[in-house]
Structure 1
Amino acid sequence: MILISKENTIIKDKLQITGSKSESNRLLLLNQLFQNALTLENVSNSEDSQLMAKALANTSDLIDIHHAGTAMRFLTAFYSIQEGRSVTLTGSDRMKQRPIGVLVDALNQLGADITYLENQGFPPLKINGKKITTSSITIPANVSSQYISALMLIGTQLENGLTIILEGKIISVPYIQMTIQLLNKIGVKAEMNGQEIKVEYTPKIESNILQVESDWSSASYFYSLIALSPNSEVTISTYFEDSLQGDSALQTIYKDHFGVESTFDNGKLTLKNIPDFNYSDVITLDLNNTPDIAQTIATTCVGLGLKCHLTGLETLKIKETDRLIALQNELTKFGAIVVITEDSLTIKGYNIFEETPILATYNDHRMAMCMAPLAVKYPIKIENEMVVEKSYPTFWEDWKQLGFAIKNL
């Protein structure tokens, strides 16, 4: 457990942020599929991406990806097309509680050979790699975009290509678009028209050097920090205004609702306060396309004493923890009156709180990081703080550089 606090609330600094975990994991898999034709720069140093790279290099028949959810989904698809190879794909206890049935059903319908070793619909999995020739699959659209992206990535290697038909309301569209744009960037023809995605068979690609943009989800904590710190400014690298990442919506959300302005200069993103900003009585946002920044936004509202109504959060229940329940539990410790449903979070008002909150992290990196900006307002204690290694290993070092006092308890 750590105690984190800050005496001077004005912040002026510059930081380099690690590459996007989402982009890195897609590109690591594509590089493996295309015999290392890509040279990748600024790859994420997150634990998730390290586990992904380690698994791809592992030649044994047991692959343990611990609690890396993206790796579990992408590797399930990857190993299903490795002809002649059989693997057991497993993970942490929490990973064994995270559903994967929709993806496994889709792959098996395409012709894969995947079975469950413990509970139906959940890891661990036994995967016998096969040649897949079926070229079309229909799946529900309201599932994790990682299932859809996993299918798209291996579609590049199916000799008849792959058409994915999505039924119902599509969620997390920007992550699907990210996969399409990365495929296009390396020379794969892929497109999305309405409810249909098509990926063309691509036996080989040209050698290419790609720079992974820094992680916009990680940037969210700096947006929150500036929102809570009047007369402050921070510059973070490497970010681009026309990002592939859906969470770059932070630019608009934090400008319109929290008075944080974004300016770009050759890959450097500077965040600063808009003077005399007027806040809304209630902040209402549909975060269907950007669920990973919901925790940060809710916490920013608490730091500013604002009411909010956040919707489009159905996927938060199947993340590292049930993030809706976790947010309700922890934000209540700051006096917030929080109401949750299956897909929404509402802060209706505030009660007075006095003692220094002790915040649980639920083995969820984003629960630890989204709470940290509140320390600019009052001292807080955070349990299991090293869970941040999953996506942002240098988080606490960067926070110290910004002038926060962090004490181990």
Structure 2
Amino acid sequence: MNLKLSTNSQFTIDNSQLNITGSKSETNRLLLLQALFPNITLANTSNSDDSEVMQKALKGNEEIVDIHHAGTAMRFLTAYFAVNEGREVVLTGSQRMTERPIKVLVEALEQLGAKISYEKEVGYPPIRIKGQKITASKVNIPANVSSQYISALLLVAPKLENGIEITLVGEITSVPYIKMTLALLNDLDIKTSFEGNVITVYPKQEVASKVMTVESDWSSASYFFSLAALAENATISLNSYKKTSLQGDSALVEIYKQMGVETHFEGNKMTLVKQSDFKPENLTLELNNTPDIAQTIVVTCLGLGIGCHLTGLHTLKIKETDRLEALRIELTKLGANISVTNDSLTLLASNQINPDIKIGTYNDHRMAMAFAPLAIKVPIIIENAEVVSKSYPDFWEDMKKLGFNVSEIL
């Protein structure tokens, strides 16, 4: 499905209100914890494809578990099945998933005594996992890998006989996501510590019954920050968000303040207001802790006619696609002057945006949604637009609610 997006000239968004479902990151963590501790009840969970795949895998009993494009599920389930004594599964996914490395996590689990083998290429899915009783507790893992590897170990740790002590070797990536995992464990009265480069989770076989309410997804909110920045005037209210959030992408508040968007909190409602046309000539950001919002930010900068230099992006090369290369290709089609390295992106300021360009999405939900706000400036075509269901199935309907013209084309 290809969608053409456009808006009227002098586009404004007046007092619009949207309900965003729960964070995919929090939901998938809590689904795994619920599988370990069934007396947990979850509320406001994500309706994303990734979370549905995760839930199905945790509740099923098939030998072959196919998680399609869901990278988070691949990492979390690798750890879950490794400690699920007596269960044997083959964990696989889409073609792209078989190209995304899993070796660092497998080696960490093997240090603990896990039994995991590769069905095809060493270091990549599909993998065969024979669940074991794990008694070892100490493990070393590179600190600059995806935080999902580390979170996967932390989530299963309470059920290990001796808990876990992880030593992170080198500079740590995506600290907010590690802290999110630890905070969710703490909410269940599971004792943890994070001192220097050592994380400890203590064993706890049972937890008290509790309802865990998932905060709405900040990554999904990023596209509305972009809309507010690009519109002539905008007031957009989003439910349900907390001023003090576990999600690293809440850094959007301070980042978009630099692009004229003010954020106000009242109860569980967050309201974005376009304050002015103030914008910097160039935006320099280190996104080591929040790489998932890089695509949204660079597209916003293109729409505003400003340059940016974004660093700390090394994990983007192993996402649903090589996001840095995908951004370079698609932004160049729009007329942008952009260059990328293995961990950075530089966009030069320009007021020229080519209209009616077809944006490839590379089976990547964030490519589709990050480019959509540009329709405020020029008509744009999003190829394979249904890919948004991976994290935000209602995205196109919500864009229509805000006044965008959205039509299906061949």
| TM-score category, normalised to shorter length | over 0.9
What's the counterpart of residue 53 of structure 1? 55
Measured against aligned partners, the alpha-carbon deviations of 1:307-350 in whole angstroms (never above 9, x if no partner) come to 11000000000000000000111111221100100000001243
What's the counterpart of residue 34 of structure 2? 31
Cα shift at 1:259: 0.9
**Structure 1 spans left out of the alignment, 5+ residues:** none
How does 1:114-129 map onto structure 2 within 5 Å?
114-129=116-131
SS across alignment from 2:381? strand
Cα shift at 1:160: 0.8
CA distance in 2, matches of 1:139, 1:298: 31
Cα shift at 1:273: 1.1
SS across alignment from 2:200? strand
CA distance in 2, matches of 1:114, 1:249: 37
1:388 and 2:388 are equivalent in the alignment: yes
1:7 and 2:12 are equivalent in the alignment: no
Moved more, 220-229 or 348-357: 348-357
Contact 2:13 2:402 in 1 (8 A): yes
Report the RMSD for the aligned CA atoms in angstroms.
1.0
Change (3 A) 1:355 1:299: closer
Change (3 A) 1:281 1:354: closer
Contact 1:333 1:353 in 2 (8 A): no
Change (3 A) 1:54 1:378: same
1:134 and 2:136 are equivalent in the alignment: yes
Cα shift at 1:351: 7.6
The number of equivalent residue pairs is: 406
SS across alignment from 2:104? helix
Cα shift at 1:354: 4.1
What's the counterpart of residue 365 of structure 1? 365
Measured against aligned partners, the alpha-carbon deviations of 1:26-61 in whole angstroms (never above 9, x if no partner) come to 000000011x11111100000000000000011111
1:183 and 2:185 are equivalent in the alignment: yes
Paired letter, 2:331? L
TM-score, normalization: structure 1? 0.98
Residue of structure 2 aligned with 1:246, choices 248, 254, 279: 248
Residue of structure 2 aligned with 1:98, choices 97, 100, 105: 100
Cα shift at 1:133: 0.5
What's the counterpart of residue 335 of structure 1? 335
Paired letter, 1:24? T
What's the counterpart of residue 153 of structure 1? 155
Residue of structure 1 aligned with 2:20, choices 8, 11, 17: 17
**Structure 2 spans left out of the alignment, 5+ residues:** none
Change (3 A) 1:387 1:380: same
SS across alignment from 1:206? coil
Paired letter, 1:272? V
What's the counterpart of residue 307 of structure 2? 307
SS across alignment from 2:101? coil
Identity %: 57
Paired letter, 1:275? S
TM-score, normalization: structure 2? 0.98
Contact 2:353 2:378 in 1 (8 A): no
CA distance in 2, matches of 1:354, 1:408: 20
Residue of structure 2 aligned with 1:213, choices 206, 212, 215: 215
Measured against aligned partners, the alpha-carbon deviations of 1:213-260 in whole angstroms (never above 9, x if no partner) come to 0000000000000000122110000000001000000011101x2110
